[in-house]
């Protein structure tokens, strides 16, 4: 019975990803972000459960990646699609139901579909991860959940930061275009990134992890959703520094 517990937790990630995808299509991006966060929560704890119960399996590995493909691959692509669509209108809150305002899609502007480059890059990254034996205690390239948080933070910043400069930047099509390319690159870049897996509680053995968590918490408290892109940037930079020390 216990061998099925981690897989059930992973399936909760699948469910959250499906719900998030529906709300993302409807351009209810705040609700989509909530379900993506829940999915990532389950994604984190299915691995903990598997290790705690000592029931790790090949099935669990494949199922985990399939769940991530939905929650952290498909949904960010839809969100970027919606943001690119908004960048073609007068701004946030206008043209917010891209799919629903017309009985049939009008392919006059194909730019929004470029957002699915994120989904394609996520799928490639997850496939590589499944056959790579060198990513047990660290990652090569940005993990898909971290990338999903980066993309999903954008509509939350629009909604809650109330900063005209940030709103203009996020709804700039060139910014979104470049961010999509950067996202796809980071997902598959040959950059070693540390994993938040603690083998023990020693500060000496986990100094970078503790520092990262503390700084992340401070940023979240002081900067709210704007902290998320900064945390991802800090994660990449600190990992590169740690690798070179």
Q: Which of 19-28, 159-168, 204-213 has the highest mean pLDDT?
A: 19-28
Confidence of residue 23 (pLDDT cuts 50, 70, 90): very high
SS (H, E, C) the chain: CHHHHHHHHHHHHHHHHHHHHHHHHCCCHHHHHHHHHHHHHHHHHHHHHHHHHCCCCHHHHHHHHHHHHHHHHHHHHHHHHHHHHHHCCCCCCCCCCCCCCCCCCCCCCCHHHHHHHHHHHHHHHHHHHHHCCCCCCEEECCCHHHHHHHHHHHHHHHHHCCCHHHHHHHCCHHHHHHHHHHHHHHHHCCCEEECCCCCCCCCCCCHHHHHHHHHHHHHHHHHHHHHHHHHHHHHHHHHHHHHHC
Q: Are 95 and 101 in contact (CB under 8 A)?
A: yes
Strand-pairing partners, residue 65, are none
Note the pLDDT of residue 92.
53
Distance CA 34, CA 20 (A): 8
State the pTM of this model: 0.87
Q: Are 141 and 125 in contact (CB under 8 A)?
A: yes
Q: How far is CA 42 from CA 15, 116, 118, 161, in A?
A: 10, 24, 22, 27
Confidence of residue 62 (pLDDT cuts 50, 70, 90): confident
Average confidence (pLDDT) over 174-197: 92
Distance CA 40, CA 33 (A): 10
Q: Which residues, 6 or more positions from 226, have their beta carbon under 8 angstroms from its beta carbon? A: 153, 157, 161, 163, 166
Average confidence (pLDDT) over 56-84: 91
Q: Which residues, 6 or more positions from 48, have their beta carbon under 8 angstroms from its beta carbon? A: none
* Of 60 and 71, more confident: 71
Q: Which two tokens mark 212?
A: 């990262």
Q: In the predicted model, is pLDDT for residue 8 greater than 50? A: yes
Q: In the predicted model, is pLDDT for residue 22 greater than 90? A: yes
Note the pLDDT of residue 238.
86
Note the pLDDT of residue 28.
94
Confidence of residue 108 (pLDDT cuts 50, 70, 90): low
């Amino acid at each position: 019975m216990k061998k099925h517990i981690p897989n059930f937790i992973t399936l909760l990630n699948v469910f959250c990803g499906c719900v998030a995808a529906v709300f993302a299509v409807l351009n209810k991006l705040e609700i989509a972000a909530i379900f993506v966060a829940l999915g990532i929560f389950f994604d984190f704890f299915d691995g903990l459960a598997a290790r705690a119960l000592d029931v790790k399996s090949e099935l669990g590995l494949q199922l985990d990646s399939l769940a991530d493909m939905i929650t952290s691959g498909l949904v960010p692509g839809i969100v970027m699609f919606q943001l690119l669509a908004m960048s073609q209108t007068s701004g946030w809150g206008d043209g917010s139901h891209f799919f629903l305002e017309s009985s049939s899609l009008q392919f006059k502007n194909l730019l929004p579909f470029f957002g699915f480059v994120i989904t394609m890059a996520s799928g490639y990254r997850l496939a590589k991860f499944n056959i790579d034996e060198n990513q047990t205690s660290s990652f090569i390239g940005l993990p898909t959940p971290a990338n999903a948080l980066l993309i999903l933070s954008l509509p939350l910043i629009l909604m809650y930061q109330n900063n005209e400069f940030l709103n203009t930047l996020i709804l700039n099509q060139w910014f979104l275009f470049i961010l999509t390319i950067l996202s796809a690159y980071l997902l598959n870049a040959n950059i070693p990134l540390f994993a938040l897996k603690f083998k023990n509680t020693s500060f000496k053995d986990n100094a970078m992890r503790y520092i990262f968590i503390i700084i992340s918490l401070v940023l979240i408290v002081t900067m709210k959703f704007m902290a998320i892109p900064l945390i991802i940037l800090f994660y990449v930079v600190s990992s590169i520094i740690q690798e070179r020390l």
